[in-house]
Amino acid sequence: MAERTEQRRTFGPVVLLGLATGALAAVAGSKPWISATGSSSFPGGARLALADVTSMPLAAALSLVVLACWGVVLVTRGWVRRSVAVLGAVAALGLLVTTVVGFWTLPDQLRAAMEQFVADGDHDITFTGWYAAALVGAVGSVVATALAVVKIPSWPEMGTRYDSPTGESAPVEPEGNIEIWKALDEGHDPTAPERPLD
């Protein structure tokens, strides 16, 4: 019993970690991860064209998938909840791989793009703080979603009272004056419980 209570306590911290790191990755994924500095200035319009190769749009998309999975995990139960947690873990792994791949590919892509605009000029390519934020978000998302997959069976779930009704319950005959008035308010004829008033 104590072990189950301890496992239930992980629900809040893991969900908060997942939401925070997913949001961090989503914001960082839409920002430039690298920048170029040097002696030559870029001609007009070049900076706008080069902005396309300074980040990985896939990272932003995957982080939004991770955030959506957390939203579904909060409102579902059973095998659906666990399946969505697994999907979130796969998306988080994809986010981490995309972020690591960006470390190796983005500088070369930016250099190749700059050669189209500047024939000569020495440019230093550096990673921005947004890349570090994206990496932290990706690692945190992997950790949080992996913990969710493992610990979901012991986490609390929403009660069934919030589910939509699956069938009509048999009407109960009212027994007192208050119950008769309640039945009338709900559209039921207290003298004929099987036939609701239209």
pLDDT given at position 39: 40
Report the alpha-carbon distance of residue 70 to residue 64 in Å, rounded: 10
Is pLDDT at 194 greater than 80 in this prediction?
no
Q: When comparing pLDDT for 140 and 190, which is higher?
A: 140
Is pLDDT at 122 greater than 70 in this prediction?
no
pLDDT given at position 148: 92
Is pLDDT at 141 greater than 70 in this prediction?
yes
pLDDT given at position 160: 58
Banded model confidence at residue 184, pLDDT cuts 50, 70, 90: confident
Q: What is the pLDDT of residues 49-85, one digit of tens each?
A: 555 567 788 999 999 999 999 999 988 888 899 999 9
Topology at the third CATH level for domain 2-154: Butyryl-CoA Dehydrogenase, subunit A; domain 3 (1.20.140)
pLDDT given at position 172: 61
SS (H, E, C) the chain: CHHHHHHHCCHHHHHHHHHHHHHHHHHHHCCCCEEEEECCCCCCCHHHHHHHHCCCHHHHHHHHHHHHHHHHHHHCCHHHHHHHHHHHHHHHHHHHHHHHHHHHHHHHHHHHHHHCCCCCCCEEEEECHHHHHHHHHHHHHHHHHHHHHHHHHHCCCCCHHHCCCCCCCCCCCCCCHHHHHHHHHCCECCCCCCCECC
Round the average pLDDT of the chain to a whole number and report it: 79
Q: What pTM did the predictor assign? A: 0.69
- Where exactly are the structural domains of the chain? 2-154, 171-198
